[in-house]
Structure 1
């Protein structure tokens, strides 16, 4: 993507080197030598996301379309799509309200209940062994199960969708089939809610005051975007936070003494190893100046949330503990940031998942060295391939009588 170093553990150092050489805006090339800008500066990223008229989400103005083949692997990231991600103007505001209102009505107690229930069920699957992979067997499953339940799927149907969701997110073999299966399931759920409304997100989206302004397929697309985009960053938030508790004495030493440290570890991850690293993107509506560079109309700007979080202008001491500082850009900024209700849901799922696991397996520890942990090869997201642990075998709560 931007070079092989983006898949290694020295990505933070790479951002520093790029900033030293290019300043807050660095020229990069995508697959096929397609040019783009990588926005490294906190102030510049804030400026871009605060000015949707100058830096639009409308990919139709991209000045590279004549070079993009129909089978370009990055089309799902930057291509024209009928989802809320590429909507602009007043129509985006109404579409965003539809989604946000449907998510805001999720009962926090119901959310916590489902997260605890599914977390216990997953832990029951490996707790008797004394070992497990907390990515494959836990983090990559829990958010999808909870989100599917909140949207209106039954437990069994939600579980059956998890492999398709992960295949689509990973871009692995079966990704296209996975997308088709998720899409078919969403259509079926929405169709059923037309006849029999329920107390779920799907029903609230379908019957929202603005729903008549959007087609059935657009609502299906937005449901898919929210489940898929909500699942993987939350899964990585869980995995990256657990990694921190197992490898950083500042957190592992205090977790047994106070549950507040879970929140602190999660906050630290959003600064240091944010799940969403780079986002494509915005397109310059006209020629402009940004970060000392001349940006042409139609240029693609990729937003590096991770690099902006590490900008020395906002974090002069990169080694200081972030504490409760929430000024990170990990959820984006501006009209197209992650909706606040979605952020709250992700945080509740992640925090509950971590707390339940640490309560159930209090002596869990890494089964390999810290250096043996491998990051997934993606410039867009930051998450582990696996997180192997060992612990004292324990009884499944489902068997506790």
Structure 2
């Protein structure tokens, strides 16, 4: 087990890092905030590998603009010990809390989108394949009340009937308080199989991968490809994806991990459900400047869980001043939540072709929140196939480096 490092030792480990046989390149950054000044290093290297397959299978659900599990693991292993609490106020699909859980730490998480909790919680208490198969056999998908003809652009009418029947079953179970970890798991997997680009999804071929385009856009895709949605039975696809997600999960693991989690839904500046001085480490990545539209990406997933995505107040800030004000508020709440001596790893990517270096703005926000910046870790990698599939290249919208400002709470 790796030894937990203090700030000084962590900084030195970043500077001396040669784990992937590359040396660290250091660039000093001088900051000034309201008369306070300081200098910290930007440390450039490839600190973790870009090979996604090194991650645990439970991470393998689709969500736009999420960082790889190797990022939180890098900081969790160096700045915490087993049993410590790890928090993410923008948890998205839940990468940080999930990795914390798998490393024997207590997961704490928040997101303003209720979808995040629905995606994460079942993976912290997975059922067995036998339990999933038994439950699916008990659910009648032959009758559905809701009609949504627009979705026939994505699904065969019989597939759509099954999807709506499953949606109605799950909502009734939730309303009656009967929903359990097996139902929650089935819901999470169904959300991830709704739309995509292969036979494993419920939909006909669609773009971008694993996310819902608008109905009008899908009608255009169908016309361009001369395609009509074919019937795809949803139960076997849920079972197949469940087996894939659970392939690395063992009974030994589950028996050893009795870690309580706290997952909340709300504004990340005012998270009342997470106690003061409770987290040893925060690893998070906030919404960048209008790089990703989470609402339009997740409209169908939200529909499936009975939520109108247009009513979720997800920050989509295009103005850097407003973004800084919001992030200062977030970091102020993180200062409340982190234990004295604990750390915050706050990740931003390149935006607007690298013309805006958000890590420098983040340093100012953290200082205004009363935190001490100690180093900026910049992980450089080759751009991935996944990002290219989004129509994103190194010179356009999107990111190709992880830029993480590390703060300490004194």
TM-score above 0.5, yes or no = no
TM-score (normalizing by structure 2): 0.22
TM-score (normalizing by structure 1): 0.22
